């Protein structure tokens, strides 16, 4: 379908019986109407919109949209793809380090990403983390569903670990930890490996902030 | 005399017009040439600030090279001012420079401390990403086992709603060694550095804090 339905002046061009002026002006009016639509002040019948036309749609939010033949298609936002935050079910004795820092996860189906946040402590009394071995803190039927298994099945990441409250000055020392994301029979299995070896013992925790993976 | 179309101002000769080829017919093609490109294509421009520096009219579109972002003009119905906007979903987030605290500076001019937020308006679901590299002034080793303030006054949109802590690496004792370090981003707009390890021995190329790969969700 041509973009325009212009009048072609019927020959001979200087035939006094041909109304050239009105045909030319009708063409100019058609151009005017089409361009006005692109300026957000005119209308086109749906059948006149070529598939793939990109236009600026002022629906109150000023969107860039493409006509797919039957509807305007606007970009899919990444931000809107996130689920609500859900608690990570922790295996005893691990608990949230403090109110407001509950370990949680969420996923985004647009970018197929899982993201974690929160802080894990070893029991409500703040017992030191066990160092130098892998410790499972979430798995089993109540864990993150297998749907969210990392795209490469097994993943290993580094995560941060807390200031150690027993240090001097308090909270000024940190140590590293690693996070392993794996799949068990029923859910995504999360383990950490606390690399600590300093004198701090109580009150330390592992931060999950910034931890994420592709599923 | 003929008439002009309302918006595009194309000249429509009257039936008894003596048409001047130069002023009446060529004028129309030149007028269209100026406007159609801007209405159909994103016109690349080197202008950083578009307002006042490029033609503004409903539907005129520009690709801003400096930020690789697309902008279009529209008449704000409330203010009746012609403005530029981006699609708030498809837009390219711009980087905002974060000023280091006293005693800290950028490692080199290309490594300013900067932050960006996905998703447009500062929603709780957005992800904040940082980049850049800081050193102490004068060029000295990073403090170890100390809670050190390295920036404050971070703009609201780039702060978490509750404190976030992410791990990075920092220079350590011997050449090529690194030790664990942590950045704490507070809800009040401060950035703190905690670095593990022992005193360094003069490898100045390790005396910096890199924000590469640092990201966290904004919301609580």
pLDDT digits (tens, 9 = 90+) for A146-195: 999 988 767 777 676 777 766 667 777 787 788 889 888 899 999 988 77
Sole residue written with tokens 């003009």: B73
**Closest chain A C-alpha to B17 CA, distance in angstroms:** 9
pTM: 0.76
Examine the pLDDT at B172 and tell me if it is beyond 60: no
What ipTM was predicted for this assembly? 0.73
A77 chain-B contacts, CB cut-off 8 A: 89, 119-120
pLDDT digits (tens, 9 = 90+) for B117-170: 876 555 667 889 999 988 887 667 788 888 999 999 999 889 999 999 988 876
Mean pLDDT score, A84-113:
92
- Identify the pLDDT of residue A115: 92
* Closest Cβ–Cβ partner in A64, A171, A174 for B180: A174
Examine the pLDDT at B197 and tell me if it is beyond 50: yes
* Closest Cβ–Cβ partner in B35, B59, B119 for A77: B119
Whether residues B146 and A117 touch (CB distance < 8 A) is answered with no
* Closest Cβ–Cβ partner in A61, A82, A117 for B125: A82
Mean pLDDT score, A111-136:
81
**A147: contact with B, CB 8 A cutoff:** no
pLDDT digits (tens, 9 = 90+) for A60-82: 778 889 999 899 998 888 777 88
- Identify the pLDDT of residue A199: 46
pLDDT digits (tens, 9 = 90+) for A187-213: 999 998 877 655 445 677 888 988 889
**Closest chain A C-alpha to B148 CA, distance in angstroms:** 9
How far apart are alpha carbons B107 and B207 in whole angstroms?
9
Which of B185, B65, B208 shows the shortest CA–CA distance to B132? B208
**Closest chain B C-alpha to A84 CA, distance in angstroms:** 9
Count of pairs with CB atoms under 8 A, one residue in A, one in B: 154
């Amino acid at each position: 379908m041509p973009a325009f339905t212009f009048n072609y002046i019927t020959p001979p061009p200087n035939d006094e019986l041909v109304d050239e002026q009105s045909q030319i002006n009708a063409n100019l009016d058609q151009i005017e109407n089409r361009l006005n639509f692109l300026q957000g002040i005119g209308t086109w019948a749906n059948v006149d919109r070529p598939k793939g036309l990109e236009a600026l749609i002022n629906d109150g939010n000023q969107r860039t949209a493409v006509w797919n033949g039957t509807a305007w298609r606007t970009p899919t936002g990444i931000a809107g793809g996130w689920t609500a935050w859900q608690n990570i079910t922790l295996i005893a004795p691990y608990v949230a380090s403090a109110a407001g820092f509950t370990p949680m996860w969420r996923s985004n189906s647009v970018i197929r990403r899982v993201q974690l946040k929160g802080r894990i402590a070893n029991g409500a009394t703040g017992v030191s983390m066990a160092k130098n071995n892998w410790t499972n803190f979430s798995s089993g039927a109540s864990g993150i569903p297998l749907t969210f298994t990392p795209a490469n099945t097994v993943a290993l990441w580094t995560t941060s670990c807390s200031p150690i409250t027993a240090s001097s000055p308090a909270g000024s020392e940190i140590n590293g930890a690693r996070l392993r994301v794996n799949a068990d029979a029923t859910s995504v299995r999360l383990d950490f490996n606390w690399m600590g070896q300093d004198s701090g013992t109580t009150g330390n925790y592992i931060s999950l902030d910034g931890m994420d993976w592709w599923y | 005399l003929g008439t002009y179309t309302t918006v595009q101002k194309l000249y429509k000769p009257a039936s008894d017009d003596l048409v001047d080829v130069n002023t009446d017919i060529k004028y129309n093609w030149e007028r269209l040439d100026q406007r159609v490109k801007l209405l159909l294509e994103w016109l690349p421009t080197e202008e950083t600030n578009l307002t006042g520096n490029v033609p503004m009219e409903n539907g005129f579109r520009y690709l801003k090279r400096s930020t690789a972002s697309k902008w279009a003009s529209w008449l704000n119905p409330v203010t009746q001012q012609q403005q530029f906007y981006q699609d708030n979903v498809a837009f390219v987030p711009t980087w905002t420079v974060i000023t280091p605290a006293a005693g800290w500076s950028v490692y080199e001019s290309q490594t300013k401390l900067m932050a960006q937020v996905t998703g447009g308006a500062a929603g709780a679901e957005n992800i904040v990403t940082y980049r850049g590299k800081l050193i102490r002034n004068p060029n000295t080793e990073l403090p170890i086992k100390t809670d050190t303030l390295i920036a404050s006054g971070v703009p609201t949109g780039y702060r978490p709603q509750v404190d976030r802590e992410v791990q990075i690496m920092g220079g350590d004792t011997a050449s090529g060694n690194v030790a664990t370090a942590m950045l704490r981003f507070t809800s009040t707009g401060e950035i703190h550095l905690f670095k593990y390890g022992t005193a360094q021995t003069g490898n100045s190329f390790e005396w910096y804090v890199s924000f590469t790969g640092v990201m966290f969700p904004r919301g609580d």
